[in-house]
Amino acid sequence: MKTLIIEIIEPKRLGELVTVSREFCEKPDIVAVGAGQIPGSFAKAYQVEDTVASNLVSDLASLILKEGYEIVLLSASTLGSGIAAPLSIKLSAPVVSEVIGIKPELVVERPLYGGKAVATYKLKKMPAVLTIRRKYFESADLQGFTEPTLLGPGGKKVELIAETEEKAEGIPLEDAEVIVSGGRGVGSAENFSMLQNMADFFNGAVGASRGAVDEGWVPPTQQVGQTGKIVAPSVYFAVGISGASQHLAGIANAKCVVAINKDEDANIFKRARFGVVSDYKKIVPVLIETLKEEA
Amino acid sequence: MHIVVLAKVVPDYEVPAADFELANNRAHERYKRMMGLYDENAIESGVQLKEKYSASLTILSYGGKDDIPVLRKAVAMGGEKLSLVVGDSDDPNVIAANLKMAIDKLEDVDLILAGQQSADMDRGVVHGMLAEMLEFAFIPQIAKIDREDGQWKVIQNTESGSRELKFGGNAVLSITSVPENVPRIPTVKSIFAAKKKPVNELAEIEGNTMPIDEVSVDIPQIESVCEFIPAEDDIAEAAKILLRKLREERYI
């Protein structure tokens, strides 16, 4: 099937979409969004510099119709969600968002009810637009580079004035092998420094639940969950996190979850490999002390 | 200035996985009905715009009449009018087409706000579809909205930070949650006032359904068996045991 990937130039995200594309074709085409070289080997590459989703929809729809693409893949990201639904209307195409599984015969799976259920759909018409949830598919290794044809510029409706990167100290959340995550139970922004201290010993990163982000203790870029980052570390420490299904949807692929919670009935213990029923303010400093002694 | 906020009433999204059950591939009817969580952020954002720019604010929903009491909460938060298209489809094309019909009837709409995704379908596509049907721009994940020199200036949250965007025309914005738009709790007085407001009920139109078949809906089983490490007596020992076990099983 003729498959088109639309994605910003970020090797891990591109790699995941390349892996997904192999379910549909041998070698996909790509529209690379933003500046820079396009890593990986694609049958045909297009590049568009404008990174504002709503400015791209028209040109993308024309390209898809002209070239006869049957499957359009994006990641479930700010860009992908900005493009997918409007594009589906332009193309009269089905759209399935946050896809977590792909089966033969155009059958796809996605979560419902905050990850408490999984729905299976069969696509009945081409082209079809899919957004792929991050970290559910291995990222393919991208070799070499592909020379693009420039696309656009299209009609600019929305203007990008400024872009701010949230300064992340140390290792990015998605790449960390160990994540120490805190929820409302952590109690304050200051208390998060204790979690940071612990994460540092593992060369890890600090994450948070939506509750802690809503309190303003942690920036939104550190939110883990179905509407935050999807992570797949080796160890995920959930500190003062009750374990709502929306949060668990972000750690479905974590290898080992360690729950530290005062409430022995907290839902997080149902997902955890190891559990400590304790006030984190007691156990975390002792864990840090023990790690310090070993170092 | 006329702002419309799209709101959807859903089954209690805080029901834990262990207590969750399906009936006919949807959440069992016994769960409490409530406003979707991001929809509440969108309503709060709409009310703030109303207060700041003296805008008029309409709450629009597609769903069942039984959910009107829940929708009145949005009115109590600061919405002025409440419109409901009465229907029961889960199909995003059908929902978007019906919302478009209702928006067309409202005529002078400047800005449409919606939650970033519903708390039942988890899709985040209806608002983007509606935008395209209306030929409005669609901008997801908005954290802040301002009006400057006849243009909208918004902050969009991304995976790596945020962006500042500017546009002049009409748009549908999906709203994410930030400390600044945590929903307010309506006063008792406004709750009572909201109960008296009329609801503009609209009959559903037939929209094209999306060309996909729902094959099945299942509840995945969580298969983790938690090994509890005793921490009541000797917390230092608990810390040592935990780290040892993580190493033995080669997690760290």
Q: What HEC string does B212-229 produce?
A: EEEEEEECCCCCCCCEEC
Domains of chain B, CATH where assigned: 2-203 (3.40.50.620), 222-251 (no CATH)
| Total domains, chain A | 2
Distance CA B138, CA A78 (A): 11
Given a contact cutoff of 8 angstroms between Cβ atoms, the answer to whether A242 and A266 are in contact is yes
Preceding peptide of A127 cis, ω within 30°: yes
pLDDT tens digits, B164-213: 999 999 999 999 999 999 999 999 999 999 999 999 999 999 999 999 99
**Of A271, A37, A259, A54, the residue nearest B136 (C-alpha):** A54
**Residues A129 and A208 placed together within one structural domain of the fold:** no
Q: Is A197 contained in some domain?
A: yes
What is the value of ipTM here, to two decimals? 0.95
Q: Is A104 contained in some domain?
A: yes
**Residues A111 and A197 placed together within one structural domain of the fold:** no
Q: Which residues contact B69 (CB under 8 A, 6 or more apart)?
A: none
Centre a 10 Å sphere on the Cβ of residue A126 and count the other Cβ atoms it contains.
Answer: 17
- Among A90, A97, A210, the residue with its CB nearest the CB of B124 is A97
Cβ-defined contact of A214 to B177 (cutoff 8 Å): yes
**Residues A107 and A242 placed together within one structural domain of the fold:** no
Average pLDDT, chain B: 96
Q: Is A50 contained in some domain?
A: yes
Instruction: Name every chain A residue with its beta carbon within 8 A of the beta carbon of B127.
Output: 85
Q: How far apart are the first and last CA of chain A?
A: 54
**Residues A215 and A102 placed together within one structural domain of the fold:** no
Cβ-defined contact of B226 to A272 (cutoff 8 Å): yes
Can you tell me whether residue A224 is helix, strand or coil?
strand
Q: Which amino acid is it at B1?
A: M
**Residues A77 and A184 placed together within one structural domain of the fold:** no
- Specify the DSSP class assigned to residue B147: E
pLDDT tens digits, B222-250: 777 999 999 988 999 999 999 999 999 99
Window 201-230 of A, Cβ < 8 Å to B: 202, 210, 213-216, 220-221, 226-227, 229
Q: Is A172 contained in some domain?
A: no
Has A246 been labeled as part of a binding site? yes
Given a contact cutoff of 8 angstroms between Cβ atoms, the answer to whether B36 and B64 are in contact is no
Cα of A194 to nearest chain B Cα, Å: 15
**Residues A119 and A207 placed together within one structural domain of the fold:** no
Q: Is A141 contained in some domain?
A: yes
Cβ-defined contact of B226 to A275 (cutoff 8 Å): yes
Q: What is the predicted pLDDT for the residue at A154?
A: 72
Q: What is the predicted pLDDT for the residue at A64?
A: 98
Cα of A269 to nearest chain B Cα, Å: 6
- Specify the DSSP class assigned to residue B51: H
Q: Is A163 contained in some domain?
A: no
Q: Which amino acid is it at A49?
A: E
A239: domain CATH number is 3.40.50.1220
Q: Which amino acid is it at A268?
A: I
- Among A94, A215, A256, the residue with its CB nearest the CB of B246 is A256
Q: What is the predicted pLDDT for the residue at A100?
A: 97
Cβ-defined contact of A270 to B160 (cutoff 8 Å): no
Alpha helices in B119-224 (DSSP H): 126-134, 188-196
**Residues A136 and A84 placed together within one structural domain of the fold:** yes
> One digit per residue, pLDDT tens: chain A, 295 residues?
999 999 999 999 999 999 999 999 999 999 999 999 999 999 999 999 999 999 999 999 999 999 999 999 999 999 999 999 999 999 999 999 999 999 999 999 999 999 999 999 999 999 999 999 999 999 999 999 999 999 977 778 999 999 999 877 789 999 999 999 999 999 999 999 999 999 999 999 999 999 999 999 999 999 999 999 999 999 999 999 999 999 999 999 999 999 999 999 999 999 999 999 999 999 999 999 999 998 7
Average pLDDT estimate for B135-164: 97
Q: Is A44 contained in some domain?
A: yes
A42: domain CATH number is 3.40.50.620
Q: Which residues contact A104 (CB under 8 A, 6 or more apart)?
A: none
**Residues A78 and A139 placed together within one structural domain of the fold:** yes
Distance CA B217, CA B22 (A): 8
Cβ-defined contact of A278 to B242 (cutoff 8 Å): no
Instruction: Name every chain B residue with its beta carbon within 8 A of the beta carbon of A57.
Output: 132
Burial (CB < 10 A; 0-12, 13-18, 19+), residue A184, is: middle
pLDDT tens digits, B5-55: 999 999 999 998 889 999 999 999 999 999 999 999 999 999 999 999 999
**pTM for this one?**
0.95
Give the residue numbers spanning the domain of A255.
Answer: 178-294
Residue in this structure with the two tokens 């029923």, named with its chain if needed:
A277
